[in-house]
Amino acid sequence: MTVFSVASDTTSRAGASAEPESPSSYVGPFIDKTARRSTGRRLAMRSYPSWIAGLRYRGPDGTNRGRYCRDLKVGTPLQLVPEPSNPYSKHAVAVIHQGHHLGYIPERHDWIASAIVEGHRLSCSVRKVEVEGALFRRASFVGLQVAVLY
């Protein structure tokens, strides 16, 4: 298994009112021209919204994913790990935070697995966390921002 480290040098866009609020309202890539390389030169990138699928299930290590994700903050960097031997999808990409398996990138975003295999640098961070439940609070939706760095 190959683990791809996630760059945390992306910055959030100010005034992101055009950003989709749910998976069904995807409108396309966002261009972030404020990201910079460590050398100070401008870094070209395209940023796409996504989300974590499978929050209602327990992780392989027994972690309650919904309960764990309720404490994630906007901007938290995450790791993307391709799982080509996954029995359900050869394009499966796991989302990992500090060694905890949080779920998967949705099947419809299979381009992410292809981009990783092709050697593109990807950055993934939390964009939004929706929490539900009065007594047993858990995350019902975790929005992601996946950036392809050029």
- For the chain, domains (ranges, CATH) are 30-149 (3.30.70.2330)
- Output the pLDDT for position 31: 45
Give the Cα separation of 17 and 31 in Å (integer): 14
Measured distance CA(21)–CA(51) in Å, rounded = 11
Q: pLDDT at residue 24 above 80?
A: no
- What does the pLDDT look like over 120-139, one tens digit per residue? 999 999 999 999 998 999 99
Condensed to tens digits (0 to 9), the pLDDT of residues 91-116 reads 999 999 999 999 999 999 999 999 99
User: Which tops the pLDDT comparison, 34 or 72?
Assistant: 72
Tokens found for residue 28: 């396309």
Q: CB–CB of 124/80 below 8 Å?
A: yes
Q: pTM to 2 decimals? A: 0.71
